[in-house]
Amino acid sequence: MTPVAPSPPEPAGVSTNLAVPSSALAVGAHPDDVEFGCGATLAKWASGGCRVHHLICTDGSKGSWDPNENIAQLVAVRQHEQREAALALGADGEVVFLGQTDGELEATLPLRAELAYWIRRLRPEVVFGHDPWRRYRLHPDHRHAGFLLTDSIVAARDPHFFAEQDAAPHRPSALLLWEADEPNHVEDVAGFVDAKLAALLKHRSQFRSTMGIEDPEATDDVDEFRTRVRQRLTEHGGLAGLPAGEAFRLLKDR
């Protein structure tokens, strides 16, 4: 008798691969956060027919190490880069900019109303954002963007919150938080790693300050960045026994 090889055990408590939703909204603090957090998953879903929207909370005006930077120009460049990055993912939805000052984002009531309005208007089936409960996180914008999103989801789903809004309540079916403190879900992104990298590399103004690419013409610098991103996807995939993945905290509506 031939012994049957045991199938590898499913890692405890980690789910994989939601069904491709009809629409998704990714909410980042800065231009580039969405591509780092969930770019490969968005590319996968876009290729499967999902309408993908971006919403960026701040203007990205602190994203330069040059003290003499022309800030108005930087903001315009970063919006252009974000639109290009969305296209590189295959996203055909809206790219919304709330225009808050970079570094000074707060999860205020007026901003909660604004984001709740966008959730009601775009009506995404699945929403992505920063995990506000990630421990030892220093950047305040990422923490505030996370709380702003979770607070706005609660407001968007019931009719007596911001009842003056000219948009019907909307209840997304799932929320996926990237940079999760305790990930419990992995999306298999095999085949979509290059799309994530291509989208990230559209954020050219961030090469030096965020991506460690001193010289964009030096292929070594760019290759090192690609390797770091690939390593991260390998680590995340490993949580579910996959070669490449993006890990999240999944919260399902109940």
* Closer CB to Zn ion, 102 or 125, in the complex: 102
* Closer CB to Zn ion, 78 or 120, in the complex: 78
CA 75 to chain centre: 19
Report residue 24 as tokens. Answer: 């998704």
Dist. CA 98–CA 50, nearest whole Å: 23
For residue 87, give the DSSP letter: H
Size of the site for Zn ion (CB under 5 A): 3
Q: Is 30 in the site for Zn ion (CB under 5 A)?
A: yes
Q: Is 144 in the site for Zn ion (CB under 5 A)?
A: no
Dist. CA 83–CA 115, nearest whole Å: 19
Piece in contact with Zn ion (CB under 5 A), picked from 31-39, 88-96, 227-235, 244-252: 31-39
Report residue 1 as tokens. Answer: 């008798």
* Closer CB to Zn ion, 62 or 230, in the complex: 62
Piece in contact with Zn ion (CB under 5 A), picked from 26-34, 43-51, 95-103, 189-197: 26-34
Least Cβ distance, residue 141 to Zn ion (angstroms): 6
Q: Rounded to 5 degrees, what angle do the CA atoms 164, 165, 167 make?
A: 140
Q: Is 29 in the site for Zn ion (CB under 5 A)?
A: yes
Q: Is 33 in the site for Zn ion (CB under 5 A)?
A: yes
Q: With beta carbons less than 8 A apart as the criterion, state whether 182 and 219 touch.
A: no
Report residue 82 as tokens. Answer: 């974000």
* Closer CB to Zn ion, 30 or 120, in the complex: 30
Q: Which residue spans within 113-207 are E strands per DSSP?
A: 126-130, 174-178, 185-188
* Closer CB to Zn ion, 37 or 93, in the complex: 37
Q: Is 88 in the site for Zn ion (CB under 5 A)?
A: no
Q: Is 143 in the site for Zn ion (CB under 5 A)?
A: no
Piece in contact with Zn ion (CB under 5 A), picked from 25-33, 79-87, 150-158, 229-237: 25-33
Report residue 86 as tokens. Answer: 């969305």
Least Cβ distance, residue 23 to Zn ion (angstroms): 24
For residue 227, give the DSSP letter: H
Q: Rounded to 5 degrees, what angle do the CA atoms 4, 14, 125 make?
A: 125
Piece in contact with Zn ion (CB under 5 A), picked from 21-29, 70-78, 129-137, 149-157: 21-29
Q: Which residue is nearest to Zn ion (CB)?
A: 30
Q: Is 57 in the site for Zn ion (CB under 5 A)?
A: no
- Which one, of 147, 179, 175, 146, lies nearest residue 254 by Cα? 175
For residue 51, give the DSSP letter: E
Residue keyed to tokens 């309005």: 117
Least Cβ distance, residue 28 to Zn ion (angstroms): 7
CA 175 to chain centre: 11
Residue numbers of the site for Zn ion (CB under 5 A)?
Answer: 29-30, 33
